[in-house]
Structure 1
Amino acid sequence: MKRQLLFSLLAILVTSFALAQQDVTGRVTDARDNSALSGVSVFVKGTRTGTTTNQDGRFHISVPANAVLVFTFTGFSDKEVTVNGSSVDVALEVTQKSLQEVIVTGYALQNKRQSSGSVAKVSGEEIKLQPLGSFDKALQGKVPGLLSQSSTGQPGAAAEVTIRGKGSINGTNTPLYVVDGVQINAADFATINPGDIESYTVLKDASSTSIYGSRGANGVIVITTRKGRPGQTQINYDFQYGWSQLPENRLEVMTSKEKLQYEFYDRPDFGINPFGWSDAQVDSLGKIGSTIEKSLFQKGITQQHQLSASGGNDKTRFYLSGSIFDQQGIVKTTGLRRYTGRVNVENSFGNFKTGINATFGYSRIVGTRENDTYVGSPLNAIRWFNPYLSLYDANGEYQDDYLQNQPNPLRELLENAGHGDQMKGVGNVYIEFNLPWVKGLKLKTLWGADFTSDEAFLYLDRNTDQGSQSTGGNGQVSRSYTKTFRYTGTTSLSYQRTMGAHEITAALFNEIIQAKSDGFNFNGFGLVGPFKNEAGITPGTPDNGYIPTVGGDATQSGLVSYFADATYGYARKYYISAGARRDGSSRLTKDQRWANFGSVGASWIVSEEHFLEGTKGWLSSLKLKASYGSVGSQGIGNFTSRELLSSTVYNGVGGLVLTNLQRSLTWERKLMINTGIEFTLWNGRVGGTVEYYNNKTKDLFLDRQLSRTSGFTSITNNLGKLQNTGIELSLNAVVVRTRDFLWEVDGNFTHNKNKLLDQNGMNENISGYFINKVGEPINSIYLVKYAGVDPATGDALYYIKDGKSTTNVYDPANRVLLGTVDPPFYGGFSNTFNYKGLELNTLFSYAYGHWLYNNDRVQVENPIYWYSNLSKNMLREWQNPGDITDVPSAFNDFRQETSRFVEKGDFLRLRNVMVSYTFQKNLMDRWKIKSLRVFAQAQNLYVWHNFQSYDPEAVGGGLAGAQYPQLRTFTMGINVGL
């Protein structure tokens, strides 16, 4: 009887439960274009019951009555829907700067909620319209921890980018750049169209970069190109036109009147008025204005055209584009011209997905001689050329006389010629297979290639100064070719599944990278006839001395890797991740070729806890995260660890000599700790991050001094330790949002502290004007401190090492550390104002706390060069006892190895200002177009600084001379969508 009663009760309970359950079906789509979203997690709130959508975005789930379904998908905002029937269709919205934002690691997509790493993302829309030949310059001020420095304004030249400080001394500090899974070099950016880029994702800590192993030590910048979306084909055309001009120079040089005044100062060996000017000549010449800038520089025209088409359906999507970018430099003859094309196609059929992403480009860069002290360079002549002289004689020919034995810079610029051509192709093909036997299991293989062909050409006319310095003294033609091919093959098996409160993502990878490069160069001499190429070369003989030189090189390297990555999440609140990678590099000797790297991380979505339920009105999300791991660097030459032989000639007999010793080099290894907080407030209206990092590099590549009896002066070994610690802050906020008006702000700040911990037991290593000292930042300036001028004698005064007493005797033993050349503080901030489609955007970047050695001043404040133009500062030169000045007498020994020429590098740059107007939709419908936007912008509009030159943004801390100023560019344009 009891058994029958028990079975009856169980039957009633089961029946009640079955009646309470109901089957629900539906479809999940992208709210932008109504395309299906596959792989969306659908679960019953408060339970472990869940499922995912199929390839068509459809799902089926059994739920209790009045249940709430939660829909989550990477890159889209979560959505909750109360079940009120048997069918539920949902459209998900793309997220912006929230925990749902998608992160592209280069190998996979990841939801920001799940990530424990330090990752920043920049939209391609923020950069594509900036008139820059190299897109890495546009990242300045946008990403905390990322420092982008440009010491040249040459169109097409790449910036120097570092992430979280410099972690190597002799190795590379350049981050890894990956485009759609294929590695590229920073030197090739001039051939890539920024308009094709969807997003830039910057990976900064071990949790996010360790998957790249030996390539991720300096951070990773993952570049994702644009893809098509289902729907009607969208055609877009972008055009802009403008000009660039020379910015202000804070290093002022003398006018004609001032220079003539200075020539009447007394000086050693030449006395007063060494050219013997008469009063009438002084009066006449003093009225002449300088024409050097007008003669050598120009207002450079910039124009850009971009045309793209994208579209597709649920199965096939495509993106096609072509572009032309033409930017003249501000130095005559210089500039960049670029042509690019791109094809991105992906197709889904059954359980398979295939795709191809390919870009092709051609660029020509015409530069000028820079970063040296050659007097014929226009970048030096603008300061050094005497303002009362003319570049032409009375007959309109190049002036050769009366130039104080200096070359005519206009002739050097216009009669000599040179350019660099590059053809580049980057692409990949891939295939994915979703295994039907195990839900969430996917197999993918991707093969990519990066091909580059570089040609450099130089013509030195026989009538120019540079041509006269070539072999035989009658001009030169040089040409070189370099071809580089790198292929990457990556195969992965990944698993992603949500089972109730449990989220599992795991993947195994194998990767092969091989690079090959070969080059050839030729130099011919003795030019005759009108030819400006190899046709004018005189055949070389022992008698005429025009023996041509020919050379070449070839190199090859490879990297094989095995790695794994996994993330586990529980209750959408607790996440742990781990990764491991084993790399083998051909650059290292066999006993050190293989190395292991890895990371662990954890994150906690605190805002999902019940004890914070009362904060939901203002605290939208709060995440704590931490990670630890190791990455490595093989940033040395392909043959640095090998024994090398080179050809030589001795006493007329050829032979081979040893030029490098084999040594057991191992990897530079970086141990990285990162902790951080991410938050959003008031439903995403305010958001930000606070992060602390501690990166320690050991086994630094350093040069160890050898006994000269070995035949070598030094050898590279793994000898030192270096540390970077820092704090990063970022904040974004919607200050005002009404129906018609929007004001958004975005800012970031970084403080990086660099410290050398060990260098093979040596306390300090001095190189020129710089020192690497244990306990101090690397690249610190090390000079005698300048104390001014003795009013009685005009002698320069220098501080004794104790910093208290002074002497007029220069002694290098009194050198002291003056400060680092690398900015310890940097960042940026932006504002966006929008009123009924009229928008104003501003971007500022800044850096401070560092010092620079101003070699430009050395060249124009040295009295030995009195016959050239000089800085206005020299008008303060000491002349008589009692003069109070900071410029010593011309009779005093000139010493440039002092702090007299060291200046603060602090600056605040107005990087970009854009005003645009987007026409209203009702007008677009009337005109039968989809979108129309007009804009005007200014690039590098103004820099606030006290550095005496064009710009304090200098890589390496010192100006070698002939600095090509950064371009100040103004453009206007239009964007049309059809």
Structure 2
Amino acid sequence: MRKLLLASIMLVLGSYAYAQNVNVTGKVTADDGSVLPGVSVVVKGTNVGVQTDANGIYKISAKKGASLLFSFIGFESQTVPVGNSSTIDITLKSDAAQLNEVVVTAQGIRKNLREVGYAYSKVSTEDVTVGRSPQLAQALSGKVTGLAVYNVNNSVDPQVKVVLRGFRSLTGNNEALIVLDGIQTTSTVLALINPNDIENISILKGGQAATLYGSAGINGALVITTKKGSKGKLKVNYSNSTNVEQISFLPEFQDKYGSGSHYYPSYGSAGYSSDPLVRMKGNWRSYENQQFGDPFDGSLRQLGRSASDGTTNIVPYAAVKNARYKAFDTGVSMNNQIGFTGGDENGTYYMSLENQKIQGIVPGDKSERTGARVASSRDYNKLNVGFNASYTQAKYDRTSSDFYNDVINQPANLPLQDYRDWQNNKFANPNAFFNDYYNNPYFNADNNRRVYKDANISGTLSLTYKVTPWATISNRLGAMNNSRTQKSTTGKFLYSDYAKTKAFIAEPFYRDGDGTGVYRAITDILGGVTDYTKTENVINNEFQLLLEKDFGPFANKLIFGNSVYQRYIKEVQVGSSSIVVPDVYNVSNRQGELTGYENTYMNRRVGYYADLTSNFKNWLILNGTFRYDQTSLFYKPTRATNLWSYPYYGVALSFIPTDAFPSIKSSVLNYAKLRVNYNKNANDNIDFYGLDLTYPNGANFPYGNTVGLTVGNTLPDANLKPESVTSGEIGGEFQLFDNRVNIDVSAYTQKSVGQVITVKVPNSTGFPNLLINVGETKNFGYEGEFKYLISRGTKFSWDASVRYSYNDNKVLELYPGINEFVLPDGYSYANTNVIKGSRFPMLKTDGYQYAPDGSGYRLVSATTGYPLRQTTLTPRGGTLPRHIVGLGSRMNYGNFTFTFNFEYRGGNYMYSDLGRQMTFTGSGKWTENRTDQIFPNSAYLDADGKVVPNTTVKVREPEYALWVDQYRNISENFVTKAWFIKLRDINLSYNVPQSVLSKVKIFSGASIALYGRNLITIVDKMNYYTDPEYSRTTGNGLGLNSTGQTPPVRQYGVNLNLTF
């Protein structure tokens, strides 16, 4: 890369030697007389450009006879010839709503912004790079109305779920379609895209916007357009970002009690003490993972059992400050990239190279992403040829152990950091690690690894030919290959005989019944290896015929199109759960039978579509769309055509009253646009080969040479067809006060009928489940975006924006006789559900029994004082946020720019299984009250069933049983409101003045920036557990979390940009 950079510098230096330039200076003002800082001033046809300073002044060097292009957001661009003049002052006119802006919509169709009859958002390169997020999807959070990005973990390979306007399918896919340079794909590709390669992202939210994509676009679409280059001489941009990341949120830990479990004699036994402190001392054990021992007193105590050489591990019996926090590493990432762009009057080109390395917060976890992208566009008279291709390879090395869970299962007096070197520290080695039940977290992290490589290669070739002045044909062929090669390993470890049978506890720390030997050493770690490969091939071809013709006051545009989409997936896994030779990870190095599987899938969709736009005098625009699809997912030779071939259609109307009635225009109201649309779509939400009966291997088969297959347990309905989805939207766009205020509002509703779901049926049918079209849902909401140019002064400019989204849904109908069903990925005691008449997903958990008189008291046993558990699961609330608010601002002062973005989500609930786990171990701060107590807000029923407020019955064993046997098993305790506020990103940058760069004569632009991500996180005061943004699944069962999620982090970094 250094050689490539040097060559680029020499090219630029050489160009200076032949230039015959004149120095031009001037001042740029707005049509209201105010100066305009930050105006782009470019020598047209070159890469030479500057920006006006805080006083609107610019200085630039240009050849005689050249022209200067002046451009600024919200104003009309102007081109001025240089001639022999050395001073050029200009005034830019306001461009209300930038009415002539052309944007990319569905199927790559470009439209004038006023012709777009639905809610439309565009995200620029700066929007997704300002916080230097290593993952594109996370960079979008809070910046687009209606868009929510859900995180599963924060590992070196973060998983996300991108959703537009909530859920509409009960059991199917609710993720937005990702379209990358015309190729339809999924959110998994977002982790492999270099954000700096992005030109812009068009966010298509409503059904009308996505009708032309067919069922693939039913959940909206993110249409990503990458850079294609710009006309002018070669321009080279180099960027380096280096940042560190640290844990931003951990559960609240107790720091009062040490190791211990229920070893004290049972209640009522001889010698049983009524003093909880006495019982705590009896519960203390040096080898326990549970933390229900006596209070820390600072004395020296043995930790675990003695080593084989007789030495003991003596540590202070006191909490180690921030021990769990320090167990994690400080993550470090570095990103280097270089881009080349240029072109001439007939074409452009672009190339980029990127390398990103990440050291994660979990010890040993790391990743590296390397990518290259090339793109070019060329005009040959009436023919335009466009080409782009990219290759990205990402390597990941992650632990497959639950490091988070292992960490919280260690007592507070364990100095965790001292046990990192488990190979050389005998007390960190599994043979002598203190914990009888959980191994050393660092050993588990090292011994259980998942190493994999993801590769993505994609490319598009587009041909556009202007047949006549009013007819153009185009064809875009795209292909993409995604692959993963993965090896998962568990190292073999055989415990020593001493650890199994002889390890003891020295006096005076020995307790009756302790015995000898480490409990977990009973079972050796036999090791294992699993190889997995997956290949996905996508071919997507789009042919379009564009007809443009004006008839009187009507400007008409009609597009006919044909779409072919094919997706092929193959995955193979083979593994062994026991290896022979340690550290040799080959499936041939095994004991026992190999396990594994092979799956192959393919589907094809062929569509024919039309898009008509009729524009009456540029103030009344009608847009109609139609598509007819044929899909292999619902095809069988014997099935009726209407079950696998189906139409989509939609209509949108835009009205610009400020153009229809110019008299209503004023300095207050500059522009107004009203829009309405309606459409009817179909959703083929069904798995590959969902119409076929499957025959998996039976239990314990194959057995030797005997093969046994069993029929699947779900019978597809013979008349199964895609879901029918109708939607409507109204909205408006307004610009006020000389283009200083911009408002965009929308309201929408969407109804889905005949959802494809699995229902229980009588066993007499021969199958326990039936796949059928049933159910009806409604999804609705409204959105608003407010942008305000607060100041546009001589030295200081400031703009701000607020975005608000409200979304809700409701299950209107289900299968006769069925009023609810459980979604996958939950627990028996806490799960997400679909319930008729309610929003979904709906969180349900077990909980307390409450007093029947409505007083709100929690019922307890009149004998033990323990709370009574209601085993029937009760709805707690929806898990999707109803409200999403984004707040962003940008301030310019001289050469400094400061930006920030906040996001709020709320109106939903979550269940934290992490809290349940920490209650079992006694590590949660909420378990600290272990002395005599009456359970709060409690009552009991007397012999007559009367509610009696509890003022006398104390909890029997508050030092252990209250928490482990009672509180832990009432899941309502771990349900909290899931709202949060986050400072998503913050950036302070400095652009080096042109006066300095002109002296260096190497760089045409340079900037340095300090940035941060997620620096502030605020949650509900009752949420002791985890960041509400994280869920344990990318499926529809959001709102449940566990220790499987890597803790969230905050990031700090510095970015350097150089332009040659």
Question: Within the alignment, does 1:661 sit opposite 2:715 as a pair?
Answer: yes
Per mean C-alpha deviation after superposition, the further-off stretch among 906-915 and 637-646 is 637-646
Q: What is the aligned partner in structure 2 of residue 274 from structure 1?
A: 283
- Look up the SS of the partner of 1:113 in the other structure: helix
Q: Verify the 8 A CA contact 2:131 2:987 in the aligned structure 1.
A: no
Per mean C-alpha deviation after superposition, the further-off stretch among 763-772 and 162-171 is 763-772
**Counterpart-to-counterpart distance in 2, 1:508 and 1:903:** 52
* Closer, same or farther: CA 296–349 of 1 in aligned 2, 3 Å: same
Deviation string for 1:654-678 (max 9, x for gaps)? 1333215343321122211000010
Question: Within the alignment, does 1:583 sit opposite 2:629 as a pair?
Answer: yes
Question: Within the alignment, does 1:764 sit opposite 2:826 as a pair?
Answer: no
Q: Verify the 8 A CA contact 2:652 2:677 in the aligned structure 1.
A: yes
Q: What is the aligned partner in structure 2 of residue 41 from structure 1?
A: none
Q: What is the aligned partner in structure 1 of residue 835 from structure 2?
A: 773
Q: What amino acid sits opposite 2:476 in the alignment? A: L
Alignment of 1:348-363 (within 5 A): 348-363=379-394
- Look up the SS of the partner of 1:258 in the other structure: coil
Q: Verify the 8 A CA contact 2:122 2:202 in the aligned structure 1.
A: yes
**Counterpart-to-counterpart distance in 2, 1:638 and 1:814:** 36
Per mean C-alpha deviation after superposition, the further-off stretch among 392-401 and 180-189 is 392-401
Deviation of 1:91 (Å)? 13
Deviation string for 1:457-509 (max 9, x for gaps)? 111001189xx999995211111111111101111101234566322111000
Q: Verify the 8 A CA contact 1:76 1:92 in the aligned structure 2.
A: no
* Closer, same or farther: CA 554–92 of 1 in aligned 2, 3 Å: farther
Q: Verify the 8 A CA contact 2:850 2:856 in the aligned structure 1.
A: no
Question: Within the alignment, does 1:605 sit opposite 2:660 as a pair?
Answer: no
Question: Which residue, out of 456, 459, 474, partners 1:444?
Answer: 474
* Closer, same or farther: CA 884–174 of 1 in aligned 2, 3 Å: closer
What count of residue pairs does the alignment treat as equivalent?
A: 870
Question: Within the alignment, does 1:970 sit opposite 2:1041 as a pair?
Answer: no
Alignment of 1:52-67 (within 5 A): none
Q: What amino acid sits opposite 1:365 in the alignment? A: Y
Question: Which residue, out of 909, 913, 923, partners 2:982?
Answer: 909
Deviation string for 1:528-566 (max 9, x for gaps)? 44534218x5354xxxxx222242121111000000001
- Look up the SS of the partner of 1:523 in the other structure: strand
Question: Within the alignment, does 1:619 sit opposite 2:674 as a pair?
Answer: no
Deviation of 1:419 (Å)? 1.7
* Closer, same or farther: CA 784–474 of 1 in aligned 2, 3 Å: closer
Q: What is the aligned partner in structure 2 of residue 423 from structure 1?
A: 455
Alignment of 1:190-589 (within 5 A): 190-249=191-250, 251-255=251-255, 257-259=256-258, 271-272=279-280, 273-275=282-284, 280-281=299-300, 285-287=316-318, 289=320, 293=324, 296-369=327-400, 377-389=402-414, 391=419, 395=426, 397-401=428-432, 402-436=434-468, 439-463=469-493, 474-498=526-550, 501-529=553-581, 531-534=583-586, 537-540=588-591, 546-589=592-635
* Closer, same or farther: CA 550–801 of 1 in aligned 2, 3 Å: farther
**Counterpart-to-counterpart distance in 2, 1:673 and 1:967:** 40
Q: What is the aligned partner in structure 2 of residue 103 from structure 1?
A: 103
Deviation of 1:333 (Å)? 1.4
Per mean C-alpha deviation after superposition, the further-off stretch among 923-932 and 508-517 is 923-932
* Closer, same or farther: CA 637–126 of 1 in aligned 2, 3 Å: same
Deviation string for 1:862-900 (max 9, x for gaps)? 3xx4xxx52121111463458889998444542634422
Q: Verify the 8 A CA contact 1:430 1:446 in the aligned structure 2.
A: yes
Deviation of 1:449 (Å)? 0.4
Deviation of 1:281 (Å)? 4.2
Q: What amino acid sits opposite 1:721 in the alignment? A: E
Deviation of 1:194 (Å)? 1.1
Alignment of 1:630-649 (within 5 A): 630-648=680-698, 649=701
Q: What amino acid sits opposite 1:913 in the alignment? A: I
**Counterpart-to-counterpart distance in 1, 2:366 and 2:92:** 46
Question: Within the alignment, does 1:954 sit opposite 2:954 as a pair?
Answer: no
**Counterpart-to-counterpart distance in 1, 2:994 and 2:334:** 28
- Look up the SS of the partner of 2:108 in the other structure: coil
Q: Verify the 8 A CA contact 1:630 1:670 in the aligned structure 2.
A: yes
Q: Verify the 8 A CA contact 2:459 2:480 in the aligned structure 1.
A: yes
**Counterpart-to-counterpart distance in 2, 1:563 and 1:184:** 20
Deviation of 1:112 (Å)? 1.1
Q: What is the aligned partner in structure 1 of residue 52 from structure 2?
A: none
Gaps of 5+ in 2: 1-39, 47-70, 80-89, 273-278, 287-293, 303-314, 496-519, 862-867, 939-953, 1032-1037
Alignment of 1:892-907 (within 5 A): 893-894=965-966, 896-907=969-980
- Look up the SS of the partner of 2:219 in the other structure: coil
**Counterpart-to-counterpart distance in 2, 1:253 and 1:626:** 53
- Look up the SS of the partner of 1:900 in the other structure: helix
Deviation of 1:684 (Å)? 1.8
Deviation of 1:626 (Å)? 0.1
Question: Which residue, out of 890, 906, 918, partners 1:848?
Answer: 906
Q: TM-score, normalised by structure 1?
A: 0.83
Deviation of 1:803 (Å)? 7.3
Alignment of 1:171-182 (within 5 A): 171-182=172-183
Q: Verify the 8 A CA contact 1:125 1:198 in the aligned structure 2.
A: no
Per mean C-alpha deviation after superposition, the further-off stretch among 302-311 and 264-273 is 264-273
Deviation of 1:614 (Å)? 4.8
- Look up the SS of the partner of 2:903 in the other structure: strand
Deviation of 1:714 (Å)? 1.4
Q: Verify the 8 A CA contact 2:406 2:438 in the aligned structure 1.
A: no
Q: What amino acid sits opposite 1:306 in the alignment? A: Q
Alignment of 1:85-164 (within 5 A): 98-105=98-105, 106-164=107-165
Q: What is the aligned partner in structure 2 of residue 20 from structure 1?
A: none
- Look up the SS of the partner of 1:435 in the other structure: strand
Per mean C-alpha deviation after superposition, the further-off stretch among 846-855 and 154-163 is 154-163
Q: What amino acid sits opposite 1:538 in the alignment? A: N
Deviation of 1:833 (Å)? 0.9
Question: Within the alignment, does 1:831 sit opposite 2:889 as a pair?
Answer: yes
Deviation of 1:332 (Å)? 1.1
Deviation string for 1:907-946 (max 9, x for gaps)? 1100101110011222222222211110010111110112
**Counterpart-to-counterpart distance in 2, 1:109 and 1:799:** 63
Deviation of 1:103 (Å)? 2.1
Deviation of 1:417 (Å)? 2.1
**Counterpart-to-counterpart distance in 1, 2:264 and 2:740:** 66
What RMSD in Å do the two structures reach over aligned CA positions? 3.2
Deviation of 1:207 (Å)? 2.3
Q: What is the aligned partner in structure 2 of residue 57 from structure 1?
A: none
Q: Verify the 8 A CA contact 1:78 1:100 in the aligned structure 2.
A: no
Q: What amino acid sits opposite 2:116 in the alignment? A: S
Deviation of 1:150 (Å)? 1.3
Question: Which residue, out of 817, 842, 863, partners 2:875?
Answer: 817
Q: What amino acid sits opposite 2:844 in the alignment? A: Y
Q: Verify the 8 A CA contact 2:716 2:772 in the aligned structure 1.
A: no
Question: Which residue, out of 830, 833, 844, partners 1:782?
Answer: 844
**Counterpart-to-counterpart distance in 2, 1:657 and 1:626:** 53
Question: Which residue, out of 687, 693, 703, partners 2:748?
Answer: 693
- Look up the SS of the partner of 1:382 in the other structure: helix
**Counterpart-to-counterpart distance in 2, 1:478 and 1:933:** 47
